[in-house]
Amino acid sequence: MLILYGTESCHLCDEAQGILRQFNLVWQNVDIIEDDTLLQRYGTTIPVLRRQDNGRELYWPFGAQEIQAFIQQR
């Protein structure tokens, strides 16, 4: 499972979701505005894609190639 950290009004987050859709991936959007800890951690770096299985994170900017490599990592 993937988590995409962002906010509702983030155009970069919208772009990231568009790239994820190309891969037919399942992910959960998490709005960092609702959590002070997440806001402090990711406030200036969103969107951030996180893998729940290993905790690895992919920070923006990323494209299709970076996502493909990210999801194939063990």
pTM exceeding 0.85: yes
The whole-chain average pLDDT of the chain stands at: 96
> What is the CATH classification number for the domain harbouring 11?
3.40.30.10
pLDDT at 13: 98
Show the domain range for 44: 2-72
pLDDT tens digits, 29-39: 999 998 999 99
Long-range contacts formed by 6-13: CB under 8 A, 24+ apart: 6/30, 6/31, 6/32, 6/46, 6/47, 6/48, 7/31, 7/32, 7/33, 7/46, 8/33, 10/46, 10/47, 12/46, 12/47, 12/60, 12/61, 13/46, 13/47
19-65 residue pLDDT tens: 999 998 999 999 999 899 999 999 999 999 999 999 999 999 999 99
Q: How many domains, in total, are found in the chain?
A: 1
